[in-house]
Structure formats: structure tokens, C-alpha cells
Chain A
């Protein structure tokens, strides 16, 4: 019997161990794995709305309120957006489902610190406990400037800090007013130019001549004597079965890469692309992250790349000047030009800087993170110098700012919907880039993006210095 008792004790320890392991695993689940599990988009608890609290605020970089809960004397709550449409695509709406930051930061806005204490206090004061607030990287004055500059033209403006990926302004027109989303809903749904679509992050456009930066980087990497490559431009040229024209069929004469970028010579880049080859150009497009999957706090449309490694010549030359089947978002172009300005390092773009608690402490501060190295430092520097030339004396003179060296690239994107889109991507000061911008104006037919970009850069530099 004593042997039996020993066996019984051993069985006890075995099963006790199994239960202890379960306890340990449960603790590990909540302590270690929690963050990676909870953030899954399949977790419906993230959309949970606690009606018994005052939802947290959404604030701009300087603490200016972009969204807050107002409580009337009779206790009814309304969500108010003091800047309405100006920041609508960023804050999103909250009365008809949720979108924008209201959706992505819902859990934070619903979380009450010292829940028990606040609720206990509420019993006496009648004040609702308040959720945590979210502080953005956006400067609302820049946001207003962007809205003013687009002035009712369909398009997108995004301002970014190249060294960190902080987004200072992100504006798309048409916009909508989150305050009146319920009344406007049906009209917004049926509107021709889809105002609910955030053109910065979800609009897909042919990059036009801004793509020539990528073709240039491909040449630097794959053509050893690219510096000696020149082309005699007569304003038009044919490649296998494709005619390429320069803008207004203008003949640029014999140009090298710097001159071709400055004058935005299509024939030069088409000829260059033939030497690079589709396979190598595609590799560079991959290296600069054009094909990559990425995301941020707002829903993002991924770029669509139409080029294949075995593509025919016509597709290759069209892609090289940004006219093929490849389409990109303004956000991506801002990331790309930021990477050029940041010596080849592409940063993860972000909108949420930190979480602000009721006791004024902060947490969850976003740390800038690198996405990839798109080219070598030398290649980035060469390109930076060439882009200076574009604004100094080339197609981008409209973007000049007094007292500051601006670098950038213009683009005129032919498209199926009407007049050409106008692009400008650039950064300043060229010697020590503080801000980068991407501007797109739909179907405008001229180069007005450059002018808008210049004023945007001036405004951004002014607020940065403050």
C-alpha cells in the first residue's frame, strides 16, 4: 500500500505541474503576447464604445482640440470637431460608425485611467470619467494653410518631416464635415468625386515625371557610365512601337541627367530606361518601396505597379516617365521624396505622437522607425543636387521660396479623366532638409502644384522655427 501511496503522490505532482503550467501560460498571454494579439484588426473589442464615459480628445501637435465630447446641461453628449472639414480626413467621423483616428485610436479614447477613482468621484460631482486623449503630429495651422491653398481644387497635400516620418499636414479635397456626417451621409455616398475618400492616403495617381527620380536612381545603380550618358532631344522620339513626346514637343538639345531632370526631358529618360531594362528598373522600384506593403494610422491604398520584368519596350519607356500602368498615392510620394532628403533612409510615416492622460502624463510616444534604405548616401546626395537645379532653373521655379533653397521635382500626369494632373514633390532647406511636401492637383492642366508647394514649404518652415 505504501508503494501505491507513493504513486498517488506522484500523480498528484504531475497534474499539479500541468495546472501550474496552464497558470504560467495564461500570465504570459496577458503580459507578453497581449499587445500583438489585441491589435489584430479582427478584434471587434477595439470598436467597443463605452457610453458611460466622456470620450478622450484628439489634439494637434500644440494641444489644439480637433475632436472632443461636449456635454450639454441635460447630460446629452455630442462629439464636436471644431475644425470640421479642415481636419476631417484625419480625425474621421464617429457618428456613423467610425473612421480615421476615431477608429484607429478608439480603444485609447475609450480607456479611463484610475477607472475606480474617477467613477467614485463621478458619484459626487456628476462629472463623467474621461478617456485618454491622443496627441497628433499634425499642426492645425498648416492644415488650414493647405486647405486654403488648394482652394476648392480636387487634390492632396501632405507635409512630412523627412528625418522622422512625422506628418505635419495631410489634407485632401473634396473633404467632409464630421460634425454633420449623419445629415450629409446620403449625399456623401452618392457624390461624384467621392469626398469620403482620403486622397492623400487612398487616391491612386500616375506619378508622371516625379517618377524620373526612380529612373535616375536605377541608372546610378545599374549603368556604370551613366554620368557620360547624354541624349540629343528633338522633342520627340520613337521606341520600338511607342512614340514619346517631350512636353509641348519642345526640343531640349543634348542633355545629361541633371539637365534632363531640370527640363523634365521625356526622351532622355525613355532612352535611359531602354539601357537599364525592365528587370533592373523593377528591382529599383522594389528597393524604393513602391511595391511594399505598409500601413499607418489611416487606411492606406497600396501602390499598383504595372511593370513586369519581361515587359515590352513600350511599357518600359512609359513607366520610366511615370505614364505607364503604375499608380501611387500622394502619401507614398511624400515618403519617397523624404527618403531622398534623408540621405536614402525611408521612415515610417505616423500621425499619432503620444497618448495624453487625465493627469497630464504622457505614454506610448511613437518612436521614429526606419522602413528601408532606398539608395546609397552618395546616390541620394547626387539626386538632391540635381533636384535643386529643377527648382533653381528648371520646370520647378514656381516652388522657389525667398531666402531658402528648395529642391524638388515637378510632374504632369496624363490621365483618363480629363486635363493633366499637376504634381510637385520637394524638400527644403536643401542643405539641411526640415520639411518635405507632396502636392497633387487633379485635372488642372498646368503646373500649379509647384506654386502651392512653395507656399506650403514656406509656411511649414515658419512654424517649424517657432
Chain B
């Protein structure tokens, strides 16, 4: 019976993600003035798909791994329901596609973490609860600190403070020095400072770029950003360095609309990349493993080759949940979780996940376009680009499109700091989305009075 259900579930999961994306299109079409179906039904259907996927997956996991999975599945379900209930209330005017997309990705993460290593899934769920609390409190916190756009120097000082602290007191994990441990009496708490730096960086750039960008602003941001990126490269955190660079380039381009500056920046970065390749052996190792992982399977190419085996062996439909061998991939629970998902849910599902990031990109950009203030527009852009680009870095890495850099797949991979920061970024998008709606309503009312 279970064997039949597992084989059947391969098609159900893929059908589910397909229908989820289609519902997104239905919603967007309505917004644009077309009609493919009721947007209210579409949003409800998306919620139904997430719940259906959750139930089916934990039914299989319970049958294959024992009753603990049922208990965890129930906890996860309660989390999902509470999340929808709270977010729908607090962000009444927010974007439902963003909320559903976020919860879909988080649920895929929970399913696979439980399948790979249940204790990690439990910890992840605790972090998610914390993240949800942060998102819910966010609008109130932003009301308390009203002028975040005037704190640019505070952001710079904090970023450099964190970076230098990591540099001198940081711990090495997985080849990069990007962990800090805080100790208070007997409690110790380890986190990735780069996740906090991401927010500070976006707020800093938005604060500067909201004004007219002249030479002074350009040089100031360019030099300070280059310094940040250089420090990250020195800490061997190449993934974060690339993410910060991309965020800077996009925000610079959006605020100046200058193609010249954009290509100049890209050119400088290419030159810097070549220089980094020559100077740092850890960069050479990554590039060599990407160019020909087969030449060095036992060491450098091991991770990428095993991830390719996982993605391709079972074809587009996957092996079925619990029927694959994802445990053979190193760091599968964080960096390489995309390969594990492709292995058991199929590469069609993997394509669907990229589709969900595309949907999030579209909605994020929509928020940036709709916001009346440039400051908010830039923050929305920064957050959206950062999430999408990070997803591309790690997905492109595990499918061997680009060299593998150890970053997490936002909302899916295991990692406390990572899941928390990704969730707060969604919160920020929602918050700006709500602000847009409020502004639009105020404007409407004003117009009515003048009439």
C-alpha cells in the first residue's frame, strides 16, 4: 500500500507545484485586468496545496520512519495555520502570493529536513516560529523607529563592526570564517553575522541612494561596499561577497539608471574576480571543481558530482520520498538541499521551485514599482534581488551551471540565522506592500476631497 502511495505521490507533488504556480498566474492575470479564474479561489487553492503536500509527505514519512514524524507533522501543520491566520490579519493589504510562496518553500524545507535528519527539522521549526514572531512585530517596530532613512552612518559602523569582529573572533565552518559565538554566563549562541549585515547593507544603500546620487554619494558607497566585499572574500565567504556585490550593483543602477555605471561596475568586478582567482587558492579550488569535477572526484569534485548523481539518476519524476540516497551528498541539509529535493521529488519539482522564486521575484519587483517613496522602492528591490540572487547562486551551483559557493537556499535550507533573515526579508516586503496600499488609499481620499 505504502509503496503504491509513494510512487503515486511523485506525480501528486509535481502536479501540486504546477497547480500552485498556475494559481499564481491566475491571480496575477486578474490584477492585470485579464481573467483566468477567480483570484480568491486561486489564493485558497494555493493554501490547500501546501496543506495537501504537508499531509501527504508526513503520512509517507510516518509510515517509513515512525510515529515521531506524525507528531512533528502535526506541529508543522499548526505552525502553517497560525502563520496564515496571523499574517492575513497583520498584513491585510499585503500580497497573498508572497505569503503562500514563503510558506510553500518553508514547508518543503521542513519535509526534507525531517527526512534527512529529524533533530534539524525540529530546530528549524523553532527558528521559524521565532521568525514568524519577528514578522508579526515588524510593522510596530518600524512605527517606533520612524526615520530609518537617516541612520546611514550607524549602518556602516555596525556592518564594519560585525565584519571585523568576525575577522578576529570568528569561527571556521565548512571552509569559511563566518560564524560568531556570543557567550553569556553558561549560555552560548552561534550565528552568522553576514545575515544581519545583509539588512544593514540594504538599509544603508537605500538611505544614501534615496537622494540625488552625485559623485560624492557614488564614491562613498563604492568604496565602503568594496571594503565590505573584500573583507568577505578574505573570510572565504565567496557566496556572500557575490550577493553583496549584486545587491550594490542593482541598487546603484536603479537609483542612477546609468547603464554606463552598471557595465563599468561589472567590468571592475570581472577584473577583481580574475585577480582573486590568481591570489586565493580557495577560489581556484572552487573553479577547478566546477570546470571538471570528474578529474578530482575524491576530494574537490566530490560534492558536485554526488549532487549531479542525485539530480539525474532518477530522471524527471524522482525516486519518490524516502526512496533515494540523498545522504550521500555532503552538506545536503543546507547547501545541497536542492539536489536532495530533485532526487526524491523529481527534477520537474526542482523546476517548479525555481518557478516559485520567479514568482517571488515578480511580486517583489511589483512592490518596488508600486511604492510611492524611492527609499521604500530601493529597500524592496534590495531584498528581492538579494533573495533571488542567493537562490540562483546555490541552485546554479548544485546543477554545475556556475561554481559552487556555500550559501543557503533561502527558506528551504537548514540554518537558524538564514531562515530568520529570509523570513524577515519577506516581512519587510509585506510591510512596504502594506505602506503602498495605505498611500494609495490616502491619495484616493485626498482626490475625493479636492473634487
Q: Is B269 an interface residue (CB 8 A)?
A: no
Q: Is B242 an interface residue (CB 8 A)?
A: no
**Chain B positions within 8 Å of A9 at CB level:** 365, 369
Q: Is the CB of A44 within 8 A of B325?
A: yes
Within 8 A of A (CB), among B343-388: 347, 350-351, 354-355, 357-358, 361-362, 365, 368-369, 374, 377, 381, 385, 388
Stretch at the interface among B2-10, B102-110, B215-223, B280-288: B2-10
- Please report the C-alpha to C-alpha distance between residue A122 and residue B8 in the assembled complex, in whole angstroms: 13
Q: Mark A38-51, 1 if CB is under 8 A from B, else 0.
A: 10101111101010
**Chain A positions within 8 Å of B257 at CB level:** 3-4, 6-7
Q: Which one of A6, A26, A34, A122 contacts B350 once the chains associate, using CB atoms below 8 Å?
A: A26
**How far in angstroms is the closest Cβ of chain B from A369?**
23
Q: What is the number of contacts between chain A and chain B, taking CB atoms within 8 Å?
A: 127
Q: Is B399 an interface residue (CB 8 A)?
A: yes
**Chain A positions within 8 Å of B325 at CB level:** 44-45, 48
Q: Is the CB of B254 within 8 A of A11?
A: yes
Q: Which one of A15, A33, A122 contacts B4 once the chains associate, using CB atoms below 8 Å?
A: A122
Q: Is the CB of A18 within 8 A of B392?
A: yes
Q: Is the CB of B354 within 8 A of A26?
A: yes
**How far in angstroms is the closest Cβ of chain B from A126?**
11
**How far in angstroms is the closest Cβ of chain B from A111?**
10
Q: Is A245 an interface residue (CB 8 A)?
A: no
Q: Is the CB of B254 within 8 A of A4?
A: yes
**Chain A positions within 8 Å of B362 at CB level:** 12, 16
- Please report the C-alpha to C-alpha distance between residue A219 and residue B325 in the assembled complex, in whole angstroms: 56
Given A4-B257, A119-B3, A122-B4, answer yes or no on A26-B388 (Cβ-Cβ < 8 Å).
Answer: no
**Chain A positions within 8 Å of B253 at CB level:** 7, 10-11
Q: Is A312 an interface residue (CB 8 A)?
A: no
**Chain B positions within 8 Å of A11 at CB level:** 250, 253-254, 365, 381, 385
**Chain A positions within 8 Å of B226 at CB level:** none
Specify the chain A residue showing the minimal Cβ separation from B389.
A15
Stretch at the interface among B72-80, B144-152, B305-313: B305-313
Q: Is A123 an interface residue (CB 8 A)?
A: yes
Say what secondary structure dominates the interface of chain A: helix
Q: Is the CB of A12 within 8 A of B395?
A: no
**How far in angstroms is the closest Cβ of chain A from B98?**
15
Specify the chain A residue showing the minimal Cβ separation from B361.
A15
Q: Mark A400-438, 1 if CB is under 8 A from B, else 0.
A: 000000000000000000000000000000000000000
Q: Is A377 an interface residue (CB 8 A)?
A: no
Within 8 A of A (CB), among B277-317: 294, 297, 305-306, 308-316
- Counting chain B CB atoms within 10 Å of each CB, which of A9, A29, A46, A116 scores highest? A29
How many B residues face the partner with a CB closer than 8 A?
A: 53
Specify the chain A residue showing the minimal Cβ separation from B250.
A11
Q: Is A115 an interface residue (CB 8 A)?
A: yes
Specify the chain B residue showing the minimal Cβ separation from A18.
B392
Q: Is B260 an interface residue (CB 8 A)?
A: no
**How far in angstroms is the closest Cβ of chain B from A459?**
42
**Chain A positions within 8 Å of B388 at CB level:** 15, 19
Specify the chain A residue showing the minimal Cβ separation from B320.
A115
Q: Is A70 an interface residue (CB 8 A)?
A: no
Specify the chain A residue showing the minimal Cβ separation from B391.
A19
Q: Is A21 an interface residue (CB 8 A)?
A: yes
Within 8 A of B (CB), among A97-122: 115-116, 119-120, 122
Q: Is B63 an interface residue (CB 8 A)?
A: no
Specify the chain B residue showing the minimal Cβ separation from A117.
B7
Q: Which one of B3, B4, B11, B316 contacts A30 once the chains associate, using CB atoms below 8 Å?
A: B316
**How far in angstroms is the closest Cβ of chain A from B205?**
14
Q: Is the CB of B315 within 8 A of A8?
A: no
**How far in angstroms is the closest Cβ of chain B from A14?**
9
- Please report the C-alpha to C-alpha distance between residue A251 and residue B396 in the assembled complex, in whole angstroms: 75
Q: Is the CB of B381 within 8 A of A44?
A: no
Q: Is the CB of A8 within 8 A of B254?
A: yes
**Chain B positions within 8 Å of A46 at CB level:** 313
**Chain A positions within 8 Å of B358 at CB level:** 16, 19-20
Q: Is A466 an interface residue (CB 8 A)?
A: no
**How far in angstroms is the closest Cβ of chain A from B440?**
15
Q: Is B126 an interface residue (CB 8 A)?
A: no
Q: Which one of B255, B389, B396 contacts A4 once the chains associate, using CB atoms below 8 Å?
A: B255
**Chain A positions within 8 Å of B8 at CB level:** 116, 119-120
Within 8 A of A (CB), among B121-178: none
Q: Is the CB of B11 within 8 A of A116?
A: yes
Q: Is B401 an interface residue (CB 8 A)?
A: yes
Q: Is A27 an interface residue (CB 8 A)?
A: yes
- Please report the C-alpha to C-alpha distance between residue A18 and residue B401 in the assembled complex, in whole angstroms: 11
Specify the chain A residue showing the minimal Cβ separation from B372.
A1
Q: Is B1 an interface residue (CB 8 A)?
A: yes
Q: Is the CB of A52 within 8 A of B396?
A: no
**How far in angstroms is the closest Cβ of chain A from B202?**
14
Q: Is the CB of A38 within 8 A of B392?
A: no
Q: Is the CB of A37 within 8 A of B377?
A: no
- Please report the C-alpha to C-alpha distance between residue A231 and residue B385 in the assembled complex, in whole angstroms: 85
Q: Is B328 an interface residue (CB 8 A)?
A: yes
- Please report the C-alpha to C-alpha distance between residue A286 and residue B110 in the assembled complex, in whole angstroms: 58
Q: Is the CB of A21 within 8 A of B401?
A: yes
**How far in angstroms is the closest Cβ of chain B from A9?**
8
- Please report the C-alpha to C-alpha distance between residue A9 and residue B384 in the assembled complex, in whole angstroms: 13
Q: Is the CB of A23 within 8 A of B4?
A: no
**Chain A positions within 8 Å of B1 at CB level:** 123
The list of the 4 closest CB pairs from A to B, nearest first, reads A119-B4, A12-B365, A45-B313, A34-B312
User: Given A23-B351, A44-B309, 4 other A-B contacts at CB below 8 A?
Assistant: A19-B361, A21-B401, A22-B354, A45-B328
- A residues with a Cβ closer than 8 A to B are 1, 3-12, 15-16, 18-23, 25-27, 29-30, 33-34, 37-38, 40, 42-46, 48, 50, 52, 115-116, 119-120, 122-123
* Cβ contacts A to B, 18 pairs, < 8 Å: A8-B254, A8-B377, A8-B381, A10-B253, A15-B361, A15-B392, A19-B388, A23-B355, A25-B399, A29-B399, A30-B316, A40-B305, A42-B305, A43-B313, A45-B325, A46-B313, A50-B323, A122-B3
